[in-house]
Amino acid sequence: MNFQVIKRVIKLGICYNLIKHSNIWEEFLLISVIMPVYNEGNQIYSNVVKVISILARNKTEHQIVLVNDGSSDNSWSEMQRLSRDYANVLIIKLSRNFGKEAAICAGLENSLGDACLILDSDLQHPPEMIPEMIRLWRDECYDVVEGVKSHRGKESLAGKFAALTFYKFFRKTTGINLNSASDFKLLDRKVVDSWKQMNESITFFRGMSAWLGFNRIQVPFNVQERVNGTTKWSKANLIKLAIHSITSFSALPLHLVTCLGTVLLIVDVVLVTQTMFMKYTGKASTGFTTVIILILGVGSLIMISLGIIGVYLSKIYDEVKHRPRYLISTMLGKELNDE
């Protein structure tokens, strides 16, 4: 690249920044609102209309990206109705249910906005906060505006305790603080482009976006009550998600296995010395209790350790297959959105 070209690129960069933060540019900034949809047929139409009206009132140029994650109800026909009624609605149908994480990936990878906002389609993430999140990004130049739960909504005591324990363990093992984090986030285009470079097959969006860094701000929100339907997360799925997220971001559990082995070795040396001493001084007792305790204790620790190694092995197995994160069977409204 010669000097003239470098000068022109720098000038263009300065102009872009000046224009981006001026009022002229505001009208042209496009926000993509990405909503994963799984069996939300009875509320998706009204919820999207609500989001569109908030964006229109705020005079925000927008694109709505709806990802149908293999719903078995009438969600897809409702989404088609939305794409017929509103020009700026892009609808994507995945070939089956891949899970919310994959649906978010499909939305991010197919959106065009200068910023992308991820919102639950049951509107438990309050859409009334969107204008403020856009303002923080546009006027105060934050690259990531993340919604954090100030109130977790209706949840059992056990659920709250499990969530807090998970966040604490996640912070300790990975160094990343996800306390009260949610998927309700606004990401600048450059953050989305950086996120696209992370090519693991199985994703954990909250962790990945925290890992990315950039200039970020948190905005607290109260989780709204679900108006229709029920949560799609069973207890087993939540446990799976917790194990997946920790093992995706930290190898510490593997090192703990080594530490455990070392501690056991030390205990072993002490016990062997004591046993030998007893034997040679003729004071050897039957020692049955000690043997039972040792066999059971060591056996279960070996099983747990093998289990931890197995989790990592299975993750490597999943990753080396290089399967796509999701498959799209139909996409409608792309032509209109590309214009």
Could you list the residues that contact Mg ion (CB under 5 A)?
120, 122, 124
Nearer to ligand UDP, 20 or 152 (CB): 152
Residue type, 65: V
Nearest residue to Mg ion, by Cβ distance, number only: 124
Told to check if 48 binds ligand UDP by CB under 6 A, we report no
Told to check if 277 binds ligand UDP by CB under 6 A, we report no
Told to check if 124 binds ligand UDP by CB under 6 A, we report yes
Footprint of ligand UDP on residues 54-73 (CB under 6 A)?
A: 69
CB of 119 to ligand UDP, least distance (A): 8
CB of 183 to ligand UDP, least distance (A): 8
CA distance 13 to 168: 41
Instruction: Tell me phi and psi for residue 83, to 5 degrees.
Output: -70, -25
Applying CB under 6 A, among 78, 122, 143, 188 the residue interacting with ligand UDP is 122
CB of 336 to ligand UDP, least distance (A): 23
Nearer to ligand UDP, 35 or 257 (CB): 35
Told to check if 233 binds ligand UDP by CB under 6 A, we report yes
List of residues contacting ligand UDP (CB under 6 A): 36-38, 40, 69, 97, 99-100, 103, 120-122, 124, 231-233
